[in-house]
Structure 1
Amino acid sequence: MKKAVLIVNPSSGNEDAQEYEKLAKEKLVNIFDEVEVRHTEDAGDATKFAQQAVESKVDSVFAMGGDGTVNEVISGLAEQEYRPRFGFFPLGTVNDLARSLHISMDPVEAIAELDLDRRMSLDIGKVNEDYFMNIVAVGGIPEAISDVDVEEKTKFGKLAYFTSGFKQVIKDESYHFDLDIEGEKRSVESSAVVVVLTQTIGGYSHIVPEAKPDDGKMYLLYLKNHNVADMLKSVPDILKGIDHSTDYIGYETFTEGSLAVKEKVELHPSVDGDEGPGLPLHFKILPQHLEVYYGSEAE
């Protein structure tokens, strides 16, 4: 008997969340012999529900919510001996993983297009004891973006992140970071260091065009800015897509590494849009770790 668990964040999707949940359950009931719906109330609930689904050895686990909910569910599945297949219906503001998997941003379409025959392997990143599916960002700009509250995200969407980040740029604050990438040590000065798994960052597609969901790589990018002028000069490189280092942006791929800051400051890294562990950070790729359902346009 095939069973699916649908983990829903009822606070995502505004007043339409209940209708989306109803549609998703109707879709899954037509595919699976049994469907259980779980509602999150507190942080960590989605991870707990996913772990319970693992213990029950269900066939598939689905998430309905924003990037935070998707991250929590993936965190409950990662590194388990038995890992159910994973799917999700995006209700959030950014939905970078959904964009990379060509899942529709319209929840109604995403639900209707679900096809269990469309499956692929998905890389998962590990940072210290946490997991990520999109991005880990460190520095003044990422901190400002992480501080965007739910109301601003809902009202302004991607513009809220841009505005918050730009305010931080004006402060012109950078840090000295120690990097260890595949055993090679170096120091860089930057206002923002990011490690990504997907092409899309902050809802903007093809920022890292070489990134594939199953390529077994992490992508390190950092701004080589020493002043606001350098930061602004990096914008054209970012907008056209980054696949190599430039005068203003550092770029490389890796599978394991670490990051520390030299200054005596308390930075709060952003992990998939939420506050992550404190520095130093250790990164490791879990290649092709989950079997995920993708959208109708994915190759």
Structure 2
Amino acid sequence: MRALLVVNPRATTTSERARDVLVRALRSAVDLTVSYTERRGHATRLARDAAESGIDLVVTLGGDGTVNEAVNGLLTAPTALDGLSATPADRLPALAVVPGGSTNVFARALGMPRDWADGTSVILDGLRDGRHRVIGLGRADDRYFCFTAGLGWDAATIRRVEQSRLRGRTSTPALYMRATFGQFFTGLDRKDPPLTLERPDETPDTGLATVIVQNTAPWTYVGDRPVHLNPDASFDLGLDVTALRRLTIAAGARTVTQLAWRSGDPRGKQVLRLHDIAEFTVVASRPQPFQLDGDYLGDRQKVHFVSVPSALRVIC
């Protein structure tokens, strides 16, 4: 079996020595090539080239951003688009994820251990036993996502965190919580919620302050604790949506408290929840922050979401 290991050298939870151990372990099981990412978007090119060259397995060492890039490389390779088989998963390399970031939502949602060494053992066992799982993905316009997407409050929070990290701050649960509260109290326009959610043959849902899309559960983690918005979201179903309507101070504070202290699952008349949706569009009256898999991708006024079933084989 031929495999490519895509390494983000800035992965926060591994050292150079640990990476050497990982490489030796994988080489005991596969014919391995190692490539290091050099810039944002590089993992996409590496994974796409791997798929085009007939590689059997792509392994990532990094955080959720590295995984997202690799997945987009695989799903946009000509092999994925040739239409010769029923699903992309049938004609693409498998994916294995070694957790190396600060949160690793995707790997943990798959049931992988948080520790990179334990995760590597799971992957080696899966390769030895021929074990894999076929999962669905989400697509937002022309970009795929593994576990979440959002417009509004959550994306603006991620933008705040990324700005803090550029100033040298370390990514921690406390940093995310401060950004979440700060964005709510100082960065939201509560008088004129800008978002509308449109579904085929359904009445549009208007007056939404933020829209969060899930392809699995949980939505995220705060340290060891999972945070649930739509607990029934699944890699095996369509997309789930949690949208917050007009965010008064009282309603918003209650929602933030639910997210922070009760592991999520917000409820109430200001909360719109949709389960197992195949397709929808979010339209904004003015540009809104937009995120995919925890990366801020700029501001958008319209995003079309589609569930992509049986998109990828994952070793887990």
Superposed counterparts of 1:93-132, under 5 Å: 93-114=102-123, 115-116=126-127, 117-132=130-145
CA-to-aligned-CA distance 1:101-128 (integer Å, 9 cap, x gap):
1111111211122222331111111101
What CA distance in whole angstroms lies between the structure 1 residues aligned with 2:131 and 2:57? 13
- Alignment match of 1:158 (pick from 157, 173, 178): 173
Distance 1:64 1:152, change over 3 A: farther
Displacement of 1:182 in angstroms is: 3.5
CA-to-aligned-CA distance 1:237-286 (integer Å, 9 cap, x gap):
543553x9632321002110101112xx3222011121236220000111
RMSD over aligned Cα atoms: 2.2
1:65 maps to what in 2?
62
- Alignment match of 2:43 (pick from 37, 41, 46): 46
The answer to whether the 8 A contact 1:181-1:256 is kept is yes
What CA distance in whole angstroms lies between the structure 1 residues aligned with 2:166 and 2:120? 25
The answer to whether the 8 A contact 2:161-2:179 is kept is yes
1:169 maps to what in 2?
184
What CA distance in whole angstroms lies between the structure 2 residues aligned with 1:286 and 1:176? 27
The answer to whether the 8 A contact 1:193-1:222 is kept is yes
2:22 maps to what in 1?
24
The answer to whether the 8 A contact 2:283-2:301 is kept is yes
What CA distance in whole angstroms lies between the structure 1 residues aligned with 2:168 and 2:131? 31
AA of the residue aligned to 1:176: P
- Alignment match of 1:201 (pick from 195, 219, 244): 219
1:164 alignment partner, SS class:
helix
CA-to-aligned-CA distance 1:74-99 (integer Å, 9 cap, x gap):
00111514310001111111211111
2:198 maps to what in 1?
180
The answer to whether the 8 A contact 1:93-1:158 is kept is no
1:284 maps to what in 2?
306
1:297 maps to what in 2?
none
State the aligned residue count. Answer: 287
What CA distance in whole angstroms lies between the structure 2 residues aligned with 1:106 and 1:232? 34
Superposed counterparts of 1:248-287, under 5 Å: 248-253=270-275, 254-262=277-285, 265-276=286-297, 278-287=300-309
What CA distance in whole angstroms lies between the structure 2 residues aligned with 1:224 and 1:248? 5
The answer to whether the 8 A contact 2:26-2:32 is kept is yes
2:4 maps to what in 1?
5
1:218 maps to what in 2?
239
AA of the residue aligned to 1:120: R
AA of the residue aligned to 2:272: G
Distance 1:64 1:4, change over 3 A: same
The answer to whether the 8 A contact 2:195-2:209 is kept is no
AA of the residue aligned to 1:198: T
AA of the residue aligned to 2:220: G
Displacement of 1:12 in angstroms is: 1.0
- Alignment match of 1:228 (pick from 240, 249, 258): 249
The answer to whether the 8 A contact 2:102-2:171 is kept is no
AA of the residue aligned to 2:24: E
2:283 alignment partner, SS class:
strand
Displacement of 1:153 in angstroms is: 9.1
Displacement of 1:23 in angstroms is: 2.2
Of all paired residues, the percent bearing the same amino acid is 24
Distance 1:101 1:84, change over 3 A: same
What TM-score comes out, normalization by structure 1 length? 0.88
CA-to-aligned-CA distance 1:6-63 (integer Å, 9 cap, x gap):
000001126x33223212212211111x100000001111000001110111111011
The answer to whether the 8 A contact 2:150-2:291 is kept is yes
1:189 maps to what in 2?
207
Moved more, 39-48 or 156-165: 156-165
What CA distance in whole angstroms lies between the structure 2 residues aligned with 1:152 and 1:162? 17
For structure 2, the 5+ residue unaligned runs are 82-90
What CA distance in whole angstroms lies between the structure 1 residues aligned with 2:12 and 2:157? 24
Distance 1:37 1:240, change over 3 A: closer
1:145 alignment partner, SS class:
helix
What TM-score comes out, normalization by structure 2 length? 0.84
